[in-house]
Structure 1
Amino acid sequence: MSFSEILRLLGRKWRLLLLVPLALSASTYFFARQLPDSYSSDTTIYTGIASGYSLTGNAASDYNTTNNAFDNLVNLIESRSTKEEVAYRLLADHIWQTSQHPEWLAWPTYEGLQEGLPARLRQQLSGPTREATLEKVRAFAKANNSNAVRRLLNSSNPAYSLSALDYLSASRIGSSDLIRLYYESYNPDIARSTLELVTQVFLDQSRNLREGQTASVIEYYEAELKRAKDRLDKAEAENLAFNRDNNIINFESQSDNIAIQKESLAEQMTLMNQQYAGARAALGAVNQKLGGRQASLLSSRQVLEQTQKLNRLNANLADLQFAGKSDAGTAAKAKQLQAEADRTAQAIQNSVDTYSTQSTSTEGIPNKDLLGEWVQNMVLVESNKAKLAVMNRRRQEFEREYQRMAPLGATLKRIAREIDLAEKAYLTVLASLNASKATQQNTQLTANLKIVDPPNLASKPKSNRLVLMVLLSGLGGLVCVAGTIVGLGLMDKSLKNPVEATRQIGLPVAGLMLDAHAPPTLRLQATQQRSLDQLVRHILLKANTSQMPSPFVVGIFSVQRQEGKTMLCQALSQRCHDMGVQTLALYPDSDGFDPSSDAPSLFYPSEAAAVHGWQLDQLIQHATPKRMTAISSPDVQLVLVEFPALREEALPVGLLRQLHLIFLTVPATRTWRLTDHQTVQELRSATSAPVEVVLSGVAQHHGEEALA
């Protein structure tokens, strides 16, 4: 459907387009003329989201993040929890104020309170302070879902209901950091006080929400930090106890010192073994020279005691020498022991000199000289022997210390690793905790929303919206009616006009007939006459240009009954008769025939004609009544033959071959189906006459457009 067709369609329905909007506007004015006045209040809040300052400098200006933050604030303002809390606070404020000043109940501001809650319940909910009253109201409302306060919240009360708070709106002002809150009410005081409460509740919830996000994180990190500190303390305590139990001051230094002392001891033992072996060899040589007399000498009690004493002194001196101590006390004691050992050795020498009885040895060496050499070698052997004993004991101690220190090193490394891991975990959690606390401080800094413009008290109501509502209702009615008309026009798949009929049927349209049920106006009659004259001229033109013998036979068909073919045949025969054309009309029966017509007409038996295959002459002979008094059969110029419906009765096939032109009447109000197309194709295959469409029942406006 083109735009011009839409305009013509709307133009034909101008009465409907005018009356429906007028009726809606009048109804709106009638029902809305008593609406109360509306007062508005607004406030502006600075958020600092886009360009504010934080601990890290200016706030980030990421577009998506900024829009998300503003959307969160707007949704928080318009959330149900915010509205419920505002309703609780407004109701509690009014209950407390009227309990303090009962005369205020007569004021218009509190008329909704009288209507919403009975006096006994208001007295029950009233507390000594505003806060106590609020707690009572909140607790009473949350006790169950069917109490009076709950019903008030879910009612249509203009002050305390959630539906009243639907007039609350919040929006960002341009691309700034400001949010504008707007509220409308029937009373200016309620509008301002409600908006003040909305601002308070919103600021509290925004602060709690943003700070609560980091509070839980900080609580988690504090718990983790305590566990990490306990783990670190436990590892350090284990390290301390292990070092104390094993006498460890510095394991690395101690182990290195033990290794150095052991190597030094090994070197000294090697040297001492060499000295001991040399002393024993020298002592053996001297014993050989003495020829066994040293045995009697050693068996003397005095020499034996002195020798044992010398061995003890040498052992003690060796202990001091290999103890690893170098302080003054140790040196003095070693010097004292050395002096005592020297005196003991000298005493042995004196005892030997005393018991010496022979002057020479077996080799002729003086006995005194050999005994002196024997004493020196014996003292050296005993001294080295004592030192070797001490060294062996020290070596065994070093071996035991090695066996003790070896597993201690592995354990200390394990404890050190545990301390290192615990310390790293502790420092990591501590860093995260500090970062979270910094974020919390930054959130507290940026979460302090500031009120730029406090809610105002309206001095006069808003402009009357009645005119706007009337205009909108009229415009809405106009749009709805126009949309319905256009929608129905777009969904209309009927043939409607000759252009649409040609497109759907695929056959040329010879003419049309207007709707016979339309009011018989002069304009309609004129249009009908023009369409009929056009059809007659079309038939006469075909008849005059045809090279076929007279008469010119026109067959009038329809797919179904009651599709206007009788009316078409009768109108054409009457018009041709009035024009002086010798015309004969043949009808299959008399149903729908207008008896006032004076054009020559015959009625033939359609079933017999179909069965016997009658041609035109036979059809005329068997037709009744024979009203041929005005004209004779050879003088007939035009024969109009109405055939039975194609889909319902059999056709006189013998007459089909004598047709010169076929008119197919199709109602403009019906849709063209595939079965209709198949039926027409069968007709066209049964005759060689051209088939043209006559559109019947066409609306007057479509007829005028086609004939224009």
Structure 2
Amino acid sequence: MIGRNYHTEATLYTGIASGYSMEGGGSKVDWATAQNAMDNLMNIIKSESTLKRVSMRLYARSLINGDPHKDNEYIKANNYNRIYNHLSQSPNGKEILALIDKSSEDKTVENFYKYLKPTQSNYLYGIFYYNLHHYCYNELKNIQAARKGASDLIEISYEADDPGIAYNTIDILTKEFVNEYRALRYAETDKVIEYFNSELKRIGKELRINEDSLTKYNVDKRIINYYDETKEIAAINKEFELREQNAYIEVNSAKAMLSELETHMNSNAKQVLNNILFLNKLNEASSLTGKISEMETVSGGETSKQKEILKSYKDSLTIVRKELSNLSDKYVEHRYTKEGVSKNNIIEQWLEQTLKFEKAKSDLQIIQESQRALDERYKFYAPVGSTIKRKERNINFIEQNYLSVLKSYNDALMRRKNLEMTSATLKVLNTPAYPINPMPTQLRKIVMATCAGTFLFILGFFLILELLDRTLRDSIRTRRLVGLPLLGAFPKNSILEYHGQVEKAQNIASKQLSSSILQFCNEKKEGLPYIINFISTEGDEGKSKLIDELKVYWSNIGLKVRTVIGGKDFNPSSREFYLAKSITDFYIPEEEDILLVEYPNLREINIAPELLQEANLNIVVARADRGWKETDKLLVEKLQKQVVQTPLYVYLTYASRNVVEDFTGMLPPYSIWRKMVYRLSQLALTESVSTLFKRKEQAKEATNEDDD
């Protein structure tokens, strides 16, 4: 029985092709990506997991809101009774009914999922995977989802024999589909975000540890800025090298000058140099000179106190120098040397050079000590520098890794935000409408298609049968299969087909056969009657029946007829028959007009060509209801070669009425209905009715003549 279905549909707006995207970076739409996204959405709609959720919620909604006595907008009463009875009669029915919370659909669905297990005995599992009407996968997968052209719209449609089921199925699907889509997309992105977040924490912790280690190392080594400090040390080292060089020059210059001056001194002047008081003052002057030199060389920025100390040292040095000058004047005997140089000037110069020499020695000593201290700083800073660079390089590597992971983390966050925006655009543009009127049934089309299909099948069957069947049956097939002209057809003995007038039909057929044969009886051979040979390729073809009918008919009209039958009037297996050159070799002519010769079938004997050529007519008798085999074809081809110019025809026996009528005309009974059928079979479509009745009267008169 063909039921009446209800159709409902909904339209979803996706916003994939024309919506805003945070990842696109431009306004150009990637149609391949858009098409792939649309295909994914439609596949999610029809996916097994989505339909399973729809099935569970639809089943829960039907059980909660169904009414066993009347139809409602959720389910028809008969469908509700069917699923309720099916559930209650199941082994675990009471258990599942206890899961239903009439006040909450969500709670009921949650209970169903807790009970659901992928086992064969689980009833809720079988609802979806077996064949429970309206709720199984095989029916829910008939939901249609298609994109409307190249737009952002997806049309979802469904048909069911219950309007409430159809409406609620689409209503639930539009909600479950969005949840399923979000779960799939968010699950993927959330895992990526979680991974990058954990990596950021790990790398950030590692970066802080390395930075703290560098800070602690700088504090331990008392380094504020390694690169600036090393630059300053290099500059000081260069300056000290220049000072050391200058100090060496000054020391050597002062030493040479002292030696030169001492050569111009007399013994009295030299005694001054050995005087204890003079030496003490000289040592005091040297000490003051060294202190002044040290303060001027080492001190970078002088305070007011240091300036006062330096000034006091310089004042003391001036006093000591005066005292040394006075002491030297006491010991000078002459004012001039032999070279004419003032002795006072020599002493003064000597004292001045001595002070310079002491100052230069002090500067050189101080510079060398500072240089040694600087060398210690170099030894200190060399390993510190490599360690700091290694730590900074490690920190820089970790920092780059951190920034790279941070960028990926931000990209993942942006992708998730983009997915949120995409999911937010999944809106039900046209909500499903509750179907009130059923769809027009396809019964008329189905019936018409069935009739057309049946007609085409029957037509095709008979066409194939016509092409492959080798049964003789009618005149057209007989001529095609046998390859001989057809002389006529004799009716079969069928009371139903001939309406109890078989004998009349056979008489008419005998008359037609007689007329066809007599046209060949126009020339007798000397000493012989007209000879008609009856031949067949197989036995039981009806030759004897034809000969008897002809003999009776011709005898009635005054013709002398004689029959010669093989196996009765002559021995077809005898030597005389096989060597016969004429019919007279086994037959003695008398006064007969026509001789009817019946030969055994050609499978058993071979007929001499002379016997065939001696006859006026050779007739191959064949049943219309038998197939023409390849052996029959070979025997007839051989027979054609043997008869040469003698007429050779085929005659059908056991033929149906319409085949016989092709040669005899209409056969009795001659009713109006029969006349109309015969008229149509002969395609006499425009034949007048008067002609039809005249032909009926002529047929009756001919029948009466035949009876007489």
Common fold by TM > 0.5: yes
1:269-418 residue pairs with structure 2 within 5 A? 269-290=244-265, 314-315=289-290, 317-323=292-298, 326-329=300-303, 333=306, 336-337=309-310, 340=313, 343-344=316-317, 346-347=319-320, 350-351=323-324, 353-354=326-327, 357=331, 359=333, 369-399=345-375, 401-402=377-378, 418=394
Q: 1:120 to 1:371 in 2, by over 3 A?
A: same
Alpha-carbon separation, structure 2, partners of 1:406 and 1:337: 36
Contact 1:511 1:694 (C-alpha < 8 Å) held by counterparts: yes
Aligned residue identity for 2:85: E
Shift of 1:472: 1.3
Contact 1:39 1:184 (C-alpha < 8 Å) held by counterparts: yes
Aligned residue identity for 2:410: N
Contact 1:90 1:194 (C-alpha < 8 Å) held by counterparts: yes
After TM superposition, the score normalised by the length of structure 2 is: 0.66
Alpha-carbon separation, structure 2, partners of 1:41 and 1:58: 39
Equivalent in the alignment of 1:617: 581
Alpha-carbon separation, structure 1, partners of 2:255 and 2:420: 93
Aligned residue identity for 1:46: Y
Equivalent in the alignment of 2:52: 84
1:456-605 residue pairs with structure 2 within 5 A? 456-458=433-435, 460-462=436-438, 465=441, 468-469=442-443, 472-473=446-447, 475-476=449-450, 478-480=452-454, 482-483=456-457, 486=460, 489-490=463-464, 493-495=468-470, 508-511=483-486, 521=497, 567=542, 602-605=570-573
Equivalent in the alignment of 2:179: 204
Shift of 1:344: 3.8
CA-based RMSD of the aligned residues comes to 5.8
The correspondence for 2:608, drawn from 655, 662, 678, is 655
Q: Which deviations, in whole Å up to 9, do the C-alpha atoms of 1:435-491 show, x marking residues without a partner?
A: 333332232223233234444444x552674xx336515633641563365267448
Equivalent in the alignment of 2:84: 114
Shift of 1:48: 3.0
Alpha-carbon separation, structure 2, partners of 1:321 and 1:688: 160
Alpha-carbon separation, structure 1, partners of 2:429 and 2:458: 50
Alpha-carbon separation, structure 2, partners of 1:617 and 1:114: 98
After TM superposition, the score normalised by the length of structure 1 is: 0.66
The gaps in structure 2 that reach 5 residues or longer are 664-681, 683-708
Q: Which deviations, in whole Å up to 9, do the C-alpha atoms of 1:501-558 show, x marking residues without a partner?
A: 999x8x95544987987958469979x969x9699789959x99xxxx9999989685
Alpha-carbon separation, structure 2, partners of 1:443 and 1:135: 27
Alpha-carbon separation, structure 2, partners of 1:420 and 1:169: 58
Q: Which deviations, in whole Å up to 9, do the C-alpha atoms of 1:338-396 show, x marking residues without a partner?
A: 75156347526625753764635996877655443332222212221222233334444
Aligned residue identity for 2:572: Y
Q: 1:284 to 1:687 in 2, by over 3 A?
A: farther
1:170-249 residue pairs with structure 2 within 5 A? 170-173=145-148, 176-184=151-159, 188-230=163-205, 232-233=207-208, 236-237=211-212, 240=215, 243-244=218-219, 249=224
Q: Indicate whether 1:451 and 2:418 are aligned.
A: no
Equivalent in the alignment of 2:670: none
Contact 2:535 2:601 (C-alpha < 8 Å) held by counterparts: yes
2:428 aligns to what SS in structure 1? strand
1:125 aligns to what SS in structure 2? coil
The gaps in structure 1 that reach 5 residues or longer are 1-27, 591-600
Contact 2:16 2:152 (C-alpha < 8 Å) held by counterparts: yes
Shift of 1:183: 4.4
Contact 2:143 2:157 (C-alpha < 8 Å) held by counterparts: yes
Shift of 1:290: 4.0
Q: 1:516 to 1:274 in 2, by over 3 A?
A: farther
1:45 aligns to what SS in structure 2? strand
2:438 aligns to what SS in structure 1? coil
Q: Indicate whether 1:48 and 2:22 are aligned.
A: no
Number of equivalent positions: 628
Alpha-carbon separation, structure 2, partners of 1:309 and 1:699: 169
Q: Indicate whether 1:439 and 2:415 are aligned.
A: yes
Aligned residue identity for 1:655: A
Contact 1:584 1:639 (C-alpha < 8 Å) held by counterparts: yes
1:451 aligns to what SS in structure 2? strand
Aligned residue identity for 2:427: K
Aligned residue identity for 1:354: L
Q: Indicate whether 1:141 and 2:116 are aligned.
A: yes
Alpha-carbon separation, structure 2, partners of 1:43 and 1:253: 74
Contact 2:620 2:651 (C-alpha < 8 Å) held by counterparts: no
Aligned residue identity for 1:117: L
Shift of 1:282: 0.7
Alpha-carbon separation, structure 2, partners of 1:395 and 1:582: 166
2:257 aligns to what SS in structure 1? helix
Q: 1:698 to 1:379 in 2, by over 3 A?
A: farther
Contact 1:51 1:59 (C-alpha < 8 Å) held by counterparts: no
Q: 1:486 to 1:186 in 2, by over 3 A?
A: closer
Structure with bigger gyration radius: 2
Between stretches 447-456 and 658-667, larger displacement belongs to 658-667
Alpha-carbon separation, structure 1, partners of 2:163 and 2:311: 117
